[in-house]
Amino acid sequence: QVQLVESGGGSVQAGGSLRLSCAASGRTSSSSAMGWFRQAPGKESEFVAGVSRNGGGIDYADSVKGRFTISRGSAKNTVYLQMNSLKPEDTAVYYCAARYEYSSSWPEKGMGYWGKGTLVTVSS
């Protein structure tokens, strides 16, 4: 089993920045690929960004390209999401997720482990 714990959410004005963190514990060999998803109020969940264990594979949703940066910590058990130029439409609960193998496709049903989420609120 892998446990994922997110942190770093909060409230910020449009144009501001936040950095989310996700720490994996337990059988971390099963969390080679880690990513972020989000669910806005009244909307379906969507993929935001994902990264392979060594950082060589990185993917972003079109809506966040150029504004968000995903990275792995040196111990590889932590993933970060640096969010810049935030917009009100970025308001959502952000979930960290992990799966055993990396690919450039990130369907929700393919993720084996999920965190409980952290709320990001962007005001205009």
Tokens 């720490």 correspond to 23
Mean pLDDT on 91-107: 95
Closest among 82, 93, 99, 98 to 116, alpha carbons compared: 93
Instruction: Return the percentage of the chain with pLDDT > 70, whole number.
Output: 98
Closest among 45, 70, 62, 56 to 103, alpha carbons compared: 56
**Do the beta carbons of residue 14 and residue 123 sit within 8 Å?**
yes
Give pLDDT tens digits for 13-72.
999 999 999 999 988 776 689 999 999 999 999 999 999 998 899 999 999 999 999 999
**Do the beta carbons of residue 6 and residue 116 sit within 8 Å?**
yes
The C-alpha atoms of residue 120 and residue 124 are separated, in whole angstroms, by: 13
- Model confidence at 121: pLDDT above 90: yes
The C-alpha atoms of residue 49 and residue 35 are separated, in whole angstroms, by: 5
